Amino acid sequence: MTKDARSSQGDAPVVLVAPDKFRGSLTAPEVVAAVRVGAEAVGWQVLERPLADGGEGMLDAFGGANRSTTVTGPAGTPVEAPWRLGDDGVAVVESAAASGLALAGGSAGNDPMAATSAGTGELVAEAVRAGARRVVVGLGGSAMTDGGLGAVEAVLSRLDGRRPADLGVELLVACDVQTVFTEAAAVFGPQKGAGPQQVSELTQRLHRVLADYEHRFGAQLREAAVDLARLPGGGAAGGLGGGLVVLGGRLLPGLRLVAEQVGLAEAIEAADAIITGEGALDAESFNGKVVGGVVDAAEPDGIPVLVLAGTVRPDAPAARLSRLRTVDLSRTYGADASWNRTAECIAHAVEEHLPTRPRPLP
C-alpha cells in the first residue's frame, strides 16, 4: 500500500527501522525489537531492516546463523563457527566468526605471524558443498595477515582444486577499506599485536604471497581485468580480501552489499519516517557506515530520520547532525542506563521523539 493510500484510509504510518548493532550491548535485531516497543506505543507500524556494514553483525542482518561448523581457528585450534545458508541459496559467512581477533585472545593474545585465515576458507568451501549458489563473506575483526593464503588453500583442498567461481558459485566479499594487498601489515598489523619488526616481516611475506597468486592465478586475474597489486580493498582482513578475489570473488562496499540483499531501497520507498543508529556515533559513521548510508538514502525524498546513538563522540560531524534528529542515550539517560538498559532507553527515546500519530480506527 502506498503512503497516500494509507493516509486516505486512516492506516497507521510506517517507520522503517534500519540500525546497526550497538556494539557490546545489543545486536541490530535487538535494537529493532526495542524500537518496535516505542514506535507501536505511539501508533506506528514498524518495517524491520536490521543492517550491517559487512563486518561483525552481518549474519544478524541476513536473519541470523542457522548452521555451525567446526573449523580451524586463527591460532590453529578448532573453533565452532556459526554461518547461514538460506532457502534462496545465499550463504553468509563472517570472517570474524572463524578467523577473528577475539578468538585469538585479542591483540595481546594473538600471534600475528602465525594467525591463519584457513577457517574462513573452510566455511566458504562448506557453503559451496552444501549447495550455496552465492556466498557472501563479511570481512572485519580478523586476526591474521596471511594474505588470505590459509583460506585459499583450504578452499582449493576441499573443492578438489577448483575455485567457487569454477563451480558457478558467486562469491561476494563485503569490504569497507581501500587498503591494497601489500600494505595490509603496515595499516592493520599493529592492532593485531604486530610490532615494527613483525610488520616488516609480514609485509615481505605479503609480497611473496602476491607473487605466488600472480603466478598461479594470473590468467584468471587477467581475464577478470584485476590488478591484484593495486586493487583497493585487497589488503582488507590482512589480505583476505585479495585472497578471495583470487578465488573469483568480487569486493563490494559492505553496506551496499547488505542493503541490496535485504531490499533497503524498496523499504525506504514504503516509509513515512526512518530510525537508524549505532552504539557510538562518530566521524566514521558517515563514511560508508550504516547511519550515513541510511541518511543519504533518505535525504532525496525528504523522509525524516531519527538517529539513536549510545553516545555521540566529539568528532561526529556537526553539520550532518544539525540536519537530523539525534538522541544521545548516554547524555539523555546517563551512561549506566545507556549501557546496561539500552533497550529500555531506546524504547523511551522513540516514544519521546517519534511524532505521535493517531492509531487506526478498529
Which residues lie below 8 Å from residue 162, measured CB to CB, with a gap of 6+? Answer: 156
Residues in the chain: 362
pLDDT at 8 over 90: no
Dihedral of CA 137/141/142/145: which sign?
A: positive
Q: Topology of domain 58-256, per CATH?
A: Glycerate kinase, domain 2 (3.90.1510)
79-123: pLDDT as tens digits: 999 999 999 999 999 999 999 999 999 999 999 999 999 999 999
Rounded CA gap, 278 and 283, in Å?
A: 13
Whether the domain at 3-49+267-353 and the domain at 58-256 fall into the same CATH topology: no
Rounded CA gap, 156 and 149, in Å?
A: 11
pLDDT at 138 over 70: yes
**CA nearest 249: which of 345, 142, 138?**
138
Which residues lie below 8 Å from residue 14, measured CB to CB, with a gap of 6+? Answer: 3, 6, 44, 45, 46, 47, 270, 271, 272, 273
**CA trace torsion 287, 291, 297, 300 (10° rounding):** -90
- One-letter amino acid for residue 322 of the chain: S
147-188: pLDDT as tens digits: 999 999 999 999 999 999 999 999 999 988 899 999 999 999
298-353: pLDDT as tens digits: 999 899 999 999 999 999 999 998 889 999 999 999 999 999 999 999 999 999 99
For the entire predicted model, the pTM comes to 0.87
DSSP E strand stretches across the chain:
14-17, 45-48, 67-72, 78-85, 90-94, 134-138, 170-174, 250-252, 273-281, 305-312, 325-328
Q: Which three cell numbers mark 139?
A: 570481512
Contact 163, 153 (CB under 8 A): no
Grid-cell match 597468486, residue found: 213
At 273, give phi and psi (nearest 5°): -155, 165
259-290: pLDDT as tens digits: 998 999 999 999 999 999 999 999 989 988 99
Dihedral of CA 313/232/75/71: which sign?
A: positive
Task: Specify the CATH architecture of the domain 3-49+267-353.
Answer: 3-Layer(aba) Sandwich (3.40)
- Domains in the chain: boundaries: 3-49+267-353, 58-256
Q: What is the mean pLDDT of residues 208-217?
A: 98
Structural Rg of the chain based on CA atoms: 22
Buried b vs exposed e over 276-309: b needs ≥16 C-beta within 10 Å? bbbbbbbebbbebbbbbbbbebbeeeebebbbbb
